[in-house]
A and B are shown apart, each in its own frame.
Chain A
Amino acid sequence: MPKRTDIQKILVLGSGPIVIGQAAEFDYSGAQACKVLLEEGYEVVLVNSNPATIMTDPEFATATYVEPLLPGPVTQVIERERPDALLPTLGGQTALNLAKTLYEDGTLAKYEVELIGANYEAINRAENREEFDATMQAAGLRTARNIIATSAEEAQAALEFGLPLIIRPAFTLGGRGGGIARTQEQFDEIVHRGLDASPIGQILIDESILGWGEFELEVMRDHADNVVIVCSIENIDPMGVHTGDSVTVAPQQTLSDRVYQKLRDQAIAVIRAVGVETGGSNVQFAVNAATEEIVVIEMNPRVSRSSALASKATGFPIAKIAARLAVGYTLDEIPNDITKATPASFEPTLDYVVVKWPRFAFEKFPGVDSTLSTHMKSVGEVMAIGRTFGQAFGKALRSRELDAQPDVTGADEELLTRLESPGADRYDLLLELQRRGVSDEELRARTGIDLWYLRELRHLDDAFEGVRSYRAVDTCAAEFEAETPYFYSAWDREASNEVRRGDKPSVMILGSGPNRIGQGIEFDYCCVHAAMTVRESGRDAVMVNCNPETVSTDYDTSDRLYFEPLTLEDVLAIVEIEQPEGVIVSFGGQTPLRLAAGLEAAGVKLLGTQPDAIDLAEDRGRFGALLERLELKAPPFALAQSPDEALQVAPGVGFPLLVRPSYVLGGRAMELVYDTDMLADYFARTRPQGEIFLDRFLENAIEVDVDAICDGEDVWIGGIMQHVEEAGIHSGDSACALPPHSLGAEMLDEIRTATKDLALALSVVGLINIQYAVYGDDLYLIEANPRASRTVPFVSKATGQPLAKIACRVMLGEKLATMGLPEDPCGPHVSVKEAVLPFDRFAGADALLGPEMRSTGEVMGVATDFPAAFAKAQAAAGTQLPSRGTVFLTVTDSDKAAAMGIAAQLHDLGFRIVATRGTASAIKRMGIPVETLNKIQDGSPHVRDWIDRGDVDLVINTPTGTAARSDGYEIRRAAVARGVPCITTIAGGMAAARAIGAARFGEPPVISLQELHRNGVHA
Chain B
Amino acid sequence: MSAYVLLEDGTRFDGESVGAPVSTTGEVVFTTGMSGYQESMTDPSFARQLITFTTAHVGNYGVSEQFMESDRIHAGGAIMRAAVDYDDAPAAEQGWLSWLKANGVPGIAGVDTRALVRHIRTAGSMRGGIFTADVPVSEARERIAAEPSMVGRDLAREVTIAKPTIFEGEGDGPRIVALDTGIKRSIIRNFTSRGATLEIYPCTTSAEDLLAADPDGFFLVPGPGDPAALDYIVENIKTLLSTKPVFGICLGHQLLSRAAGLETFKLPFGHRGANHPVKDLRTGRIAITSQNHGFAVAGTPGEIIDTELGAAQLTHVNLYDNTIEGIRLLDVPAGCVQYHPEAGPGPNDSLGLFDEFIALFEASHA
| Separation of A498 and B348 alpha carbons in the complex (Å) | 34
Contact call A496/B112, Cβ cutoff below 8 A: yes
Contact call B36/A346, Cβ cutoff below 8 A: no
With A255-B35, A256-B35 as given contacts, are A261 and B57 in contact (CB-CB < 8 Å)?
no
With A332-B319, A493-B14 as given contacts, are A389 and B86 in contact (CB-CB < 8 Å)?
no
Contact call A351/B113, Cβ cutoff below 8 A: yes
Q: Which residue in B14, B67, B89, B273 is a CB contact (below 8 Å) of A254?
A: B89
Chain A CB within 8 A of B205 CB: no
Contact call A332/B286, Cβ cutoff below 8 A: yes
Contact call A264/B347, Cβ cutoff below 8 A: yes
Contact call A264/B319, Cβ cutoff below 8 A: no
Contact call B288/A389, Cβ cutoff below 8 A: no
Chain B residues with CB below 8 A from A498, complex form: 118
| Separation of A388 and B35 alpha carbons in the complex (Å) | 15
Chain A CB within 8 A of B114 CB: yes
Q: How close is B191's CB to chain A, nearest CB, in angstroms?
A: 18
With A256-B91, A350-B34, A479-B121 as given contacts, are A261 and B286 in contact (CB-CB < 8 Å)?
no
With A254-B61, A471-B114 as given contacts, are A388 and B81 in contact (CB-CB < 8 Å)?
yes
Contact call A493/B110, Cβ cutoff below 8 A: yes
Chain A residues with CB below 8 A from B48, complex form: none
Closest to B317 in A: A332
Chain B CB within 8 A of A687 CB: no
Chain A 227-267 residues near chain B, CB threshold 8 A: 228-229, 251, 253-258, 260-261, 264-265
Contact call B60/A452, Cβ cutoff below 8 A: yes
Q: Which residue in B56, B82, B115, B285 is a CB contact (below 8 Å) of A224?
A: B285
Chain A residues with CB below 8 A from B348, complex form: 261, 264-265
Contact call B67/A256, Cβ cutoff below 8 A: yes
Chain A residues with CB below 8 A from B276, complex form: 346
Closest to A349 in B: B32
Contact call A478/B55, Cβ cutoff below 8 A: no
Contact call B121/A388, Cβ cutoff below 8 A: no
Report A343-373 CB contacts with B as 1/0, cut-off 8 Å: 1011111111100000000000000000000
| Separation of A226 and B279 alpha carbons in the complex (Å) | 10
Chain B CB within 8 A of A492 CB: yes
Chain B residues with CB below 8 A from A632, complex form: none
With A346-B319, A492-B115 as given contacts, are A255 and B61 in contact (CB-CB < 8 Å)?
yes
Contact call B54/A351, Cβ cutoff below 8 A: yes
Q: Which residue in A225, A348, A387, A471 is a CB contact (below 8 Å) of B275?
A: A348
Chain A CB within 8 A of B88 CB: yes
Chain A CB within 8 A of B136 CB: no
Chain A 445-465 residues near chain B, CB threshold 8 A: 451-452, 455
Contact call B288/A346, Cβ cutoff below 8 A: yes
**For the complex, would chain A's binding face be called helix, strand, loop or mixed by DSSP majority?**
loop
Report B11-37 CB contacts with A as 1/0, cut-off 8 Å: 001110000000000000010111110
Chain B residues with CB below 8 A from A353, complex form: 56-57
Chain A CB within 8 A of B333 CB: no
Q: How close is B311's CB to chain A, nearest CB, in angstroms?
A: 26
| Separation of A343 and B321 alpha carbons in the complex (Å) | 10
Contact call A494/B112, Cβ cutoff below 8 A: yes
| Separation of A477 and B30 alpha carbons in the complex (Å) | 10
Number of interface residues of B (CB under 8 A): 55
Q: How close is A269's CB to chain B, nearest CB, in angstroms?
A: 11
Chain A residues with CB below 8 A from B64, complex form: 256
Q: Which residue in B89, B118, B284, B343 is a CB contact (below 8 Å) of A478?
A: B118
Contact call A257/B273, Cβ cutoff below 8 A: no
Chain A residues with CB below 8 A from B319, complex form: 332, 342-343, 345-346
Contact call B89/A351, Cβ cutoff below 8 A: no
Closest to B111 in A: A493
Report B258-291 CB contacts with A as 1/0, cut-off 8 Å: 0000000000010001111101000011101000
| Separation of A455 and B81 alpha carbons in the complex (Å) | 17
| Separation of A455 and B59 alpha carbons in the complex (Å) | 13
Contact call A455/B286, Cβ cutoff below 8 A: no
With A253-B60, A255-B61, A478-B54 as given contacts, are A228 and B88 in contact (CB-CB < 8 Å)?
no
Chain A residues with CB below 8 A from B91, complex form: 256, 292
Contact call A224/B284, Cβ cutoff below 8 A: yes
**For the complex, would chain B's binding face be called helix, strand, loop or mixed by DSSP majority?**
loop
| Separation of A490 and B67 alpha carbons in the complex (Å) | 32
Contact call B56/A257, Cβ cutoff below 8 A: no
Chain A residues with CB below 8 A from B112, complex form: 492-494, 496
Report B181-200 CB contacts with A as 1/0, cut-off 8 Å: 00000000000000000000
Contact call A228/B84, Cβ cutoff below 8 A: no
| Separation of A332 and B278 alpha carbons in the complex (Å) | 10
Contact call A331/B54, Cβ cutoff below 8 A: no
Chain A CB within 8 A of B169 CB: no
| Separation of A477 and B114 alpha carbons in the complex (Å) | 7
Chain B CB within 8 A of A909 CB: no
| Separation of A212 and B82 alpha carbons in the complex (Å) | 26
Contact call B288/A387, Cβ cutoff below 8 A: no
Chain B CB within 8 A of A601 CB: no
Q: How close is A170's CB to chain B, nearest CB, in angstroms?
A: 33
Contact call B32/A332, Cβ cutoff below 8 A: no
Contact call B117/A290, Cβ cutoff below 8 A: no
Chain B residues with CB below 8 A from A289, complex form: 89-90
Chain B CB within 8 A of A480 CB: yes
Chain B CB within 8 A of A408 CB: no
Closest to A222 in B: B286
Chain A residues with CB below 8 A from B114, complex form: 351, 387, 471, 477-478, 490, 492, 496
Report B66-91 CB contacts with A as 1/0, cut-off 8 Å: 11000000000000011010101111
Q: Which residue in B32, B86, B113, B347 is a CB contact (below 8 Å) of A479?
A: B32
Q: How close is B115's CB to chain A, nearest CB, in angstroms?
A: 4
Q: How close is B299's CB to chain A, nearest CB, in angstroms?
A: 20
With A256-B91, A350-B34, A477-B117 as given contacts, are A387 and B56 in contact (CB-CB < 8 Å)?
yes
Chain A residues with CB below 8 A from B285, complex form: 224-226
Closest to A452 in B: B60
| Separation of A290 and B35 alpha carbons in the complex (Å) | 18
Chain B residues with CB below 8 A from A349, complex form: 32-34, 54-55, 273-275
Contact call A480/B286, Cβ cutoff below 8 A: no
Chain B residues with CB below 8 A from A346, complex form: 275-277, 288, 319-320
Contact call A332/B56, Cβ cutoff below 8 A: no
Chain A residues with CB below 8 A from B60, complex form: 253-254, 452
| Separation of A476 and B31 alpha carbons in the complex (Å) | 11
Closest to B115 in A: A496
Contact call B89/A452, Cβ cutoff below 8 A: yes
Q: How close is B263's CB to chain A, nearest CB, in angstroms?
A: 25
Q: Can you list 27 contacts pairing A with B, beta carbon distance less than 8 Å?
A: A253-B57, A254-B61, A256-B64, A257-B67, A257-B344, A261-B346, A261-B348, A264-B348, A265-B348, A289-B89, A332-B277, A343-B277, A345-B277, A347-B274, A349-B34, A349-B274, A351-B81, A353-B57, A387-B81, A451-B89, A452-B61, A477-B54, A477-B117, A479-B269, A480-B121, A496-B114, A496-B115
Which residues of B pack against A, CB within 8 Å?
13-15, 30, 32-36, 39, 54-57, 60-61, 64, 66-67, 81-82, 84, 86, 88-91, 110-115, 117-118, 121, 269, 273-277, 279, 284-286, 288, 319-320, 343-348
Which residues of A pack against B, CB within 8 Å?
224-226, 228-229, 251, 253-258, 260-261, 264-265, 289-290, 292, 330-332, 342-343, 345-353, 387-389, 451-452, 455, 471, 476-481, 490, 492-494, 496, 498
What are the 7 A-B residue pairs with the smallest beta carbon separation, nearest first? A257-B36, A477-B54, A257-B345, A257-B35, A347-B275, A351-B54, A349-B32
Q: A256-B35, A388-B57 are in contact. List 18 more A-B contacts (CB 8 A).
A: A224-B286, A251-B55, A256-B67, A257-B345, A257-B346, A330-B284, A343-B319, A346-B277, A347-B274, A349-B55, A351-B55, A351-B56, A451-B89, A452-B86, A455-B84, A478-B117, A479-B121, A494-B112
